[in-house]
Amino acid sequence: MTYFFIGFIVLAVGFAIFKVIRKRKLPSNNYTPFDDITMGKSDKD
């Protein structure tokens, strides 16, 4: 069971790295929940 879990983690990380290399750019990280907090937005808006 431990080997399955470690294999799954390695596979997930490898897949993420493969996608980044294939697209040749990193995912956008322009938005953070902190932006909504500082602008005073709530879920109801």
What pLDDT is attached to residue 3? 93
The domain locations on the chain are 2-39
What pLDDT score does 27 carry?
67
pLDDT tens track for 1-45 = 889 999 999 999 999 888 888 877 766 667 777 777 777 776 665
CA distances from 24 to 11, 18, 21, 28, 29 (A): 20, 10, 5, 12, 15
pTM attached to this predicted model? 0.49
Q: From residue 2, give the alpha-carbon distance in Å to each of 10, 23, 35.
A: 12, 32, 39
List, in sequence order, the alpha helices (H) in 1-45: 2-23, 33-39
